[in-house]
A = this chain, B = another copy of it.
Amino acid sequence: MIKASICTIGDEILIGQIVDTNSSMISSKLGELGIEVSRMLSISDGHDDIVGSLREEMESNDIVIVTGGLGPTKDDITKPALADLFGCREWKTVDAQLEIIREILHSRGLDMLDINMDQARVPACCEPILNHYGTATIMAFHTTEGKSLYSMPGVPHETMNALPDVIADIKAHYPLGNILHRTIMTYGMAESALSKLIAPWEDALPQDMHLAYLPNTLTGVRLRLSVKGGDAEDSSRRADAQIAALKEIIGDLIYSECDDTLENTIGRLLRGSGKTVSAAESCTGGMISHLLTCVPGASEYYFGGVCSYAVAVKESVLGVDSKLIEERGVVSSEVAAAMAEGVRKLTGSTYSVSTTGLAGPGGDDKNPEGTVWIGVSGPHGTITARRQYHNDRERNIERFSASALDLLRRYIIEDGEKSAFAA
């Protein structure tokens, strides 16, 4: 299997000023080609650090992809370091890149300076790849041992736009095997319990298959099944069979078979159905509404909602009976139900979801910190559910919201089945 290393150059990443998103993007693409990324590395702008680290990466990998360190200003010294690394003393000017630089500067109303012209100068031993989205020339160094180093700009949109050309060059130079990844999104069971539940299945996976757990407060536990090597079609068929077997065990927890979110799934269920949803939020304070509206096109099915943080708003806007609140308490099944019903009536949506709970800090014996009551209302009545988490306000707001979205998702699916049955 072909091994790659991805290196970012630049103090701004090392001092924590910016988060490296390039490596992740490049890695996804390499993975699709069946190239295994063995390491990611961030190093400083120092000449010796660049030469030393990249030499090491070249020794233990077939391909090294470098991003950053190619800007026109003086803190960028990647090119001389690469010339040293490959023992290259001659330089050349890439005329086509010079033309691109001239155009880019012109479009910004800037004159061409010496430091701009330098960006089209590269070590003579490299094969230049044109950068159509920025001024820095992309360089490919191919060694006689069949190894390659690619040097790309570090500005994320330039990296992204240049990547297809680099990928094309890799494909032209290497015979590529396959790695297949399948993602299964689950919600409703913690990682440890899930792992115990599916242990017999996981333990029986063939040697070339590997399962990884990726828990996330908002999206649940993402499972990733990888199949290394082999024929792509065969791997895909075998992965399908394993996932089918997995579904027999945890089918009710799975909400998607691609890299997805609960709010996207709800969007998929509602889009084009003519059905709509609204939200009445107390403890989640707008988070559910925010998540629903992060989906492009949500305006087709999301009417909006009420954040009834104060009790008075629950009563006056949502029409929750003050006696009910007094008798049952604000954090109760009854109030969750009344809120869901209230916002559904107010907006005229098909479905509605509500939350009332204690994100923290604070709580009592009956409702400790981390308690939430969720309500979902729709054509087939109102359901409620209680969830208990722990002491972390921000996490709880996320957990409550995700849990509410999951209950809503289940209701919508069940409702669709009931309606189909009735029809």
Contacts and interface: CB of A to CB of B under 8 A. Distances in A.
A289 B299 contact: no
What is the size category of the interface that chain A forms with chain B? 35 or more
A58 interface: no
A387 to B, nearest CB: 9
Of A11, A25, A212, A309, which is in contact with the most chain B CB atoms at under 10 Å from its CB?
A309
Interface in A169-193: 181, 183, 190-193
Contacts of A192: 72-73, 110, 113, 115-116, 135
Contacts of A110: 190, 192-193
A269 interface: no
Contacts of A2: none
A397 B285 contact: no
Tell me the dominant secondary structure on chain A's binding face.
mixed
Interface of A: 11-21, 23-31, 37-45, 49, 53, 71-75, 103-104, 107-110, 113, 115-116, 133, 135, 155, 157, 161, 181, 183, 190-193, 195-196, 202, 210-215, 217, 222, 224, 226, 259, 278-279, 281-282, 284-290, 292-294, 296, 298-299, 302-310, 312-313, 316-317, 346-348, 360-361, 368, 370, 388-395, 397
Given A113-B196, A317-B347, 8 more contacts: A15-B28, A18-B24, A19-B24, A39-B41, A108-B190, A304-B309, A304-B310, A317-B346
